[in-house]
Amino acid sequence: MMKEIVEPLLQWYAENKRILPWRMDKEPFHVWVSEIMLQQTRIEAVMHYYARFMEALPDVQSLSSIDDDALLKLWEGLGYYSRARNLKKAAQIIIKDYRGMFPSTFEELRKLPGIGEYTAGAIASICFNEPVPAVDGNVLRVISRITGSCENVLLPVTKKKVTEQLLQIMPDSPGDFNEALMELGETVCLPNTAPACGECPLSGSCTAYREHLTELLPIRIKKTKRRRENLTVFILTAPDGSIALDKRKDPGLLSGMYQFPNIKGYYSEEELYLTLDNWNLNPVQIEFIRETKHVFTHIDWMMKGFRVQVNNKPERFIWVSPEELKSDYPLPAAFQKMLP
C-alpha cells in the first residue's frame, strides 16, 4: 500500500507546490535556516523573519561571526531562542571544521548543534539527494492516516517505525518526496480540523479516509503535565524616559535573554513597594497595566504587569531608551505583551 503513494504524491507536488524563497535553489544554508525557523512555526509566519534574516546574514560566514545580541534581535518573535544560538554554534563549526563547506551527509549533519534527525534528513535529501526520510509532525500525521495507525505519534518508537516504512519506498528524488509529504500535511492533510480529502492525491490509498477515521487520527497522547507559574512584571520608567532591563541567567528558560524585571508570584501593593525598595528604587507611582498569559512547551506563565515611575536609576539594571529597546535589545514575546 505504501509503495503506491509515491508517484501520485510526486505528481501532485510538481503541480501544486508553493513557491517559497528557500525552494528557489537547493542551497543548504537556505534550507537549513528555513527548517530551523519552521520548527514550531507555520510557513506564513516565517516568511518575514526569513527575509530579514537572509538580508542581514546571507551566508555561513556572516552567521558565524554575528554578535549574540544582534542575532537574538533578528530572531525576536520566533521564540525558542536556543535555536538561534545553535545556528551560530553550528555555523562556527562549519567554518572551522569543514572550511566553510556545508556537510553533505545525514550522519555529518547530525553532529551539528541543533540539527536533529528531521532537519538532517531534510537537508541531506533536498540539497544532496541522499535517500533519507525527513519525518516531522506533518509526515507522521499523513502516514498515520494513510496506514490507519493507532500508535501514539508522540512516541520515538512510532517515529522510528514511520522512518523505516519511508526508507523502503524512497524514490530517486528523495528531496521532492520528503517535501511533498510535508506539503501535503501543511496544505491538505491538516491537523485540528477536517482535512481536505477531496483535494488529496492519496485519498484512494488512505485507510483513514476509507474508514472515516480522519478526525480521530493521528493518536497523540501527552505524558507530561503542564506547570503553571505566576509572575509579576515591572515596567520601570525613569524621568528621562529610559526603561529598565536585566538579563536572565544561564541555564534555564529564555536563558541569556533580556527581560523586564520580575518576581515569581502575585503580591499586595505593600509587598510591591517592598520589592522596589530592595532594588534601591524610589517609586513615584505604581500603575497596573494588564494581566496576561504566555504559553511555553511545558509551562504557562500567568503574568501581572505594573508600570512604575521611578526617580532614580540604580546600576543593577540596564537602562535603555524606547528606541534602543525596539532596535537593539531582543525581548521575548512573553515580555512584549506588557508593552503598550
Residue entry with cell 571544521: 97
Question: End-to-end distance of the chain based on CA atoms, in angstroms?
Answer: 55
* Helix axes of 117-128 and 28-38: crossing angle, nearest 10 degrees: 150
Indicate the residue type of 114: G
Give alpha helix (H) positions in 188-339.
207-210, 269-278, 322-327, 333-336
Give ∠ CA 122-127-130 in degrees, rounded to 5.
70
Do residues 112 and 90 lie in contact, with contact meaning Cβ atoms separated by under 8 Å? yes
Report d(CA 69, CA 220) in Å as an integer. Answer: 37
Q: Which among 7, 15, 35, 183 is annotated as catalytic?
A: 35
Report d(CA 267, CA 265) in Å as an integer. Answer: 7
Indicate the residue type of 160: K
Do residues 135 and 111 lie in contact, with contact meaning Cβ atoms separated by under 8 Å? no
Q: Which of 102, 104, 190 is nearest to 142 (CA)?
A: 190
The reply to whether 35 belongs to the active site is yes
Report d(CA 128, CA 111) in Å as an integer. Answer: 17
What torsion do the CA atoms of 71, 73, 74, 76 make, to the nearest 10 degrees?
A: 120
Do residues 131 and 125 lie in contact, with contact meaning Cβ atoms separated by under 8 Å? yes
Could you list the active site residues? 35
